[in-house]
Amino acid sequence: MAKNKLRQLFLSLIATDQTYERMMLRGEEVWVGRCIHCNKKLLFALDGEPLSEGSIEHIVPQNHGGGDEASNLAIACKRCNHQKGKRHDWKPLSDPGLQNVIEILRQRKAARSP
């Protein structure tokens, strides 16, 4: 994904996640919020550029038809995103473990919505 498009995507997700707040950090205004999985703090510049380990998480995995629509996306740290991919995304969509992860992420996303 092009860098500018990715920044726009981060900004649209930040706008729909109540864990994100504008804060002053070392004299600069940034967005600070939480990984959808582990609640680790994630930082973004006001233009959407990730300043830490922020990445785009697909709630329904792309290999199971999960798309890039905002309702299927959340912000996760790279470590959690990678672990979900490794542990769950390859399973059949009917797998209870994968279904459980999808359900948890949907609930967390809903709970964070303004």
Of 32 and 93, CB closest to Zn ion:
32
Determine the interface stretch with Zn ion among 7-15, 22-30, 31-39, 98-106 (rule: CB under 5 A).
31-39
Q: What stretches of the chain show up as alpha helix (H) in DSSP?
A: 3-14, 78-84, 96-112
Interacting positions 38-57 with Zn ion (CB under 5 A): 38, 40
φ, ψ (nearest 5 deg) of residue 77: -70, 155
DSSP, residue by residue, 25-52: ETTEEEEEEE-TTT--EEEEETTS-BSS
Instruction: Report the candidate in 65, 106, 102 with the shortest Cα–Cα distance to residue 87.
Output: 102
35 binds Zn ion (CB under 5 A): yes
φ, ψ (nearest 5 deg) of residue 89: -65, -30
101 binds Zn ion (CB under 5 A): no
Q: At closest approach, how far in Å is the CB of 33 from Zn ion?
A: 11
Of 37 and 112, CB closest to Zn ion:
37
- Binding-site member from 13, 73, 74, 77 for Zn ion (CB under 5 A): 77
What does the binding site for Zn ion look like in residue numbers (CB under 5 A)?
A: 35, 37-38, 40, 77, 80
